[in-house]
Each structure stands twice: as structure tokens, then as C-alpha cells.
């Protein structure tokens, strides 16, 4: 899952981002609405965590722009305003969910995972293929019943390949979906992560390289 966190409270934004990265999410962080619009114009996000009261363009304005632009990213609004009228107004802007501050990190994660499952086509929380079972909610992975101990990036790459359902996934697509914008596009991090992931998955091999195209998962 690729997430944009737009929150002007820097400590909160950075803390949330770090927690989400530990759960294998690719997270970009901005601290004002203008920067959020800039990122949304360049990158594709599964979910946007959007504070309503940011400097520059407000979260409300960003949410309206997203709805008018036809972006498919799901929006989770954050606000200190807990009244029913505030929640109704926020959802009326085009947001998919609403969370009031202060909030429990576990609830934020649960809401993000629920929003990601509303993608088109909808994806189940547990993905299975060739003996591999990936439970996104519990953040666990097994192959043929054996537990796989994966790093956050290995988990994220496996998730992207499982979501593809046997389709070839390019290295650029893996970078876009499993890493954040600070990753050097010319790095060999994709190749190295795939190498360690293949080793942990064991035999017979299930991740195959398609020359000059990318990678696919399948027997």
C-alpha cells in the first residue's frame, strides 16, 4: 500500500509514517496542503491521510480538488473537531473516512487497511497463490504452512506480486508501490530485495524474472 500523510504537526506526521513503514507500507510525508497537491499530481496513492487544518491549501480544499480531479485514492480525514456536524461535513467533501484526534495508532492502521480493500477491483485481506498465504491485516506470511520471516520491504514486494495475480510487474512499478519517493530510481534495491525474498521463499522458485520486462509470481 502506498500512503500519503499530509499533516502539519511534524512530530505526529513523522511518527505515523514511521509506524506505517514498519508495517510494509510505502509512505510519503508532507506538512502543508500545497505540497500535498504537488505530490498528488505526480504520484499515485492508495490512501491519503489528510489533516483538515493545514497551512496553505487546507485539507478541505485538497479533498475537493481530489474529488473534482477524479483521483481514485481513498481519503482519511484527520481533525480535532469531533462533532457530528464536522464529520458529516468532512464526508460530504468526498472523504471516505474520518478520524478525530487524538487517535490510537492501531485504529488508524485498521481504517487504512479497510480503505485499501475498497480498491477496484476489491482485494481480500488474505492473498493466496502457489502455497503462499499473505495476511495483510495480521502482517504474516507463510508458504506451505511454514512461517516466513520477512522484512517490511520483502513483505511489501510479495504483496505487490500477489496483487498482480500472475501479471508481470516491472521494477518501476515495484519501486512506485513498495518504496517511497526518496528512493533512488537507479538503485539496485529492488533486485537485492527480490534476491533475499526468493531465498526465504525457498524451492521450488515462484518468483520469475521476465527479461527486459519485470517479475511475475507463479509456478
CB 204 within 8 A of CB 219: yes
Predicted confidence at residue 189, as pLDDT, reads 84
pLDDT score, position 191: 87
Contacts of 194 (CB under 8 A, 6+ apart): 157, 207, 215
Answer for the pair 6, 48: CB distance below 8 angstroms, yes or no.
Answer: yes
Nearest alpha carbon to residue 201 among 150, 156, 160: 150
pLDDT tens figures, 179-216:
877 676 667 888 899 999 999 999 999 999 999 889 99
**Average pLDDT in the chain:** 87
Alpha-carbon Rg for the chain in angstroms: 18
Three-state secondary structure call for residue 5: strand
User: Could you tell me which of 90, 140, 137, 96 has the C-alpha nearest to residue 119?
Assistant: 96
* CA distance linking residue 167 with residue 74, whole number of Å: 24
What's the pLDDT tens digit per position in 164-184? 888 999 988 888 888 877 676
Q: Is residue 39 within 8 Å of 180, Cβ to Cβ?
A: no
* Non-local CB neighbours of 97 within 8 Å, separated by 6+ positions: 74, 75, 76, 77, 111, 114, 115
Please give the Cα distance from 146 to 127 (Å, whole number).
16
Rounded mean pLDDT, 71-96: 78
In 3-state terms, what secondary structure has residue 60? helix
Place of cell 533512488: 184
Please check the confidence at residue 23 and state whether its pLDDT lies above 80.
yes
C-alpha cell at 8: 502539519
Q: pTM score, two decimals? A: 0.68
Return the number of other C-beta atoms located less than 10 Å from residue 191's C-beta.
Answer: 12
Round to whole Å and give the CA distance between 86 and 53.
Answer: 12
Amino acid at each position: 500500500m502506498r500512503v500519503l500523510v499530509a499533516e502539519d504537526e511534524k512530530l505526529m506526521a513523522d511518527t505515523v509514517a514511521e509506524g506505517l513503514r514498519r508495517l510494509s507500507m510505502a509512505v510519503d510525508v508532507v506538512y502543508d496542503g500545497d505540497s500535498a497537491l504537488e505530490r498528488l499530481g505526480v504520484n499515485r496513492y492508495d490512501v491519503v491521510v489528510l489533516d483538515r487544518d493545514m497551512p496553505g491549501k487546507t485539507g478541505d480544499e485538497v479533498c475537493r480538488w481530489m474529488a473534482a480531479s477524479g483521483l481514485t485514492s481513498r481519503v482519511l480525514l484527520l481533525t480535532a473537531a469531533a462533532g457530528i456536524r464536522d464529520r458529516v461535513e468532512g464526508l460530504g467533501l468526498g472523504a471516505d473516512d474520518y478520524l478525530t484526534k487524538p487517535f490510537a495508532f492501531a485504529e488508524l492502521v485498521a481504517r487504512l487497511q479497510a480503505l485499501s480493500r475498497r480498491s477496484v477491483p476489491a482485494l481480500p485481506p488474505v492473498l493466496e497463490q502457489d502455497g503462499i498465504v499473505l495476511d495483510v491485516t495480521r502482517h504474516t506470511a507463510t508458504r506451505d504452512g511454514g512461517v516466513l520471516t520477512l522484512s517490511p520491504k520483502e513483505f511489501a514486494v510479495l504483496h505487490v506480486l500477489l496483487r498482480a495475480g500472475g501479471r508481470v510487474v516491472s521494477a518501476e512499478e515495484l519501486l512506485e508501490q513498495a518504496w517511497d519517493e526518496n528512493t533512488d530510481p537507479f538503485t539496485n534495491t529492488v533486485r537485492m530485495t527480490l534476491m533475499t525474498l526468493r531465498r526465504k521463499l525457498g524451492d521450488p522458485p515462484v518468483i520469475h524474472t521476465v527479461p527486459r520486462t519485470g517479475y511475475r509470481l507463479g509456478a
